[in-house]
């Protein structure tokens, strides 16, 4: 398996809500160094309730 195919890659994530983080998780899992930049109030996705109880 290609566990570190993005080793040495540096990515800056300026995205908000759901789509951006879902892209950055695999980048990080395959070795990229990902830094997430948020505004002062944090990512707006954090304010949403979970869709399923207990998650």
pLDDT at residue 2, as a whole number: 64
27 membership: H or E segment, kind and range:
helix 19-29
Global pTM value:
0.66
Query: Mean pLDDT lowest for which of 6-10, 24-28, 39-43?
Result: 39-43
d(CA 42, CA 19): 16
Domain ranges (residues) in the chain:
1-37
Residue 46 C-alpha from the chain's centroid? 13
pLDDT at residue 12, as a whole number: 94
CB 8 within 8 A of CB 36: no
């Amino acid at each position: 398996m290609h566990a570190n195919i993005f080793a040495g890659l540096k990515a800056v994530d300026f995205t908000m809500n759901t789509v951006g983080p879902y892209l950055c998780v695999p980048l990080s899992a395959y070795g990229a160094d990902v830094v997430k930049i948020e505004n002062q109030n944090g990512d707006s996705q954090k304010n949403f309730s979970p869709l399923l109880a207990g998650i």
